Amino acid sequence: MLYNRTFTMIKPDAVEKGYAGAILSKINASGFRIVSMKMIQMSQRDAELFYAVHKERPFFNDLVSFMSRGPIVVAILEKENAVDDFRTLIGATNPEEAAEGTLRKQFATSVGENAVHGSDSNENAQIEAAFHFSSREMF
Ligand code: IDP
Ligand code: MG
């Protein structure tokens, strides 16, 4: 159903700093079509559920607090090879290791507060998109 689609979040650090517009502009310029988009704030519970796969990691509590502390922009993006191409566009998890020209290199603060999320597989893209959007919100 979401073939050639990925899911992204512009995280609270980037929204707080006023980077949402610049990030969306780069996403568009890189050939992604916006299928769905909205601004929301996740509750602590939402963030725990969204990141449940990381619940045993030492940074889990910090991640949940961070991701629920302010508004985020959530979106579904469409492009050929969307998942892999978007992971390339965002860059490494740690901005110090992110390549020049990537979104995390340009906009992230730290390994935790790293500006942008991108799904890591087609299966997770579908799960994460369905977490935030109903089929009536996909265009
Ligand atoms: P990814 O976002 O590049 O896929 P994941 O390993 O899936 O990275 O981790 C999910 C999120 O958890 C990261 O984007 C980041 O916000 C946070 N995170 C990952 N590793 C660390 C860490 O070592 N310290 C603090 N936060 C981390
Ligand atoms: Mg990940």
Fold of 4-134: Alpha-Beta Plaits (3.30.70)
Distance CA 22, CA 107 (A): 9
120 CB less than 6 Å from ligand 1?
yes
**Looking at ligand 1, which residue's alpha carbon is closest to its atom 1?**
93
Give the model confidence (pLDDT) of 56-107 as tens digits: 999 999 999 999 999 999 999 999 999 999 999 999 999 999 999 999 999 9
Q: Taking the model in full, what pTM does it have? A: 0.97
Which stretch of DSSP H or E encloses residue 75? Answer: strand 72-78
Cα-to-centroid distance, 60 and ligand 2 (Å): 12
Does residue 17 carry a pLDDT above 70?
yes
> Which residues are identified as catalytic?
117
Query: What residue ranges do the domains of the chain occupy?
Result: 4-134
CA-wise closest residue to 30 among 78, 71, 68: 78
Ligand 1 atom index nearest CA of 112: 26
Q: Note the pLDDT of residue 1.
A: 43
Distance CA 121, CA 104 (A): 19
Give the model confidence (pLDDT) of 30-53 as tens digits: 999 999 999 999 999 999 999 999
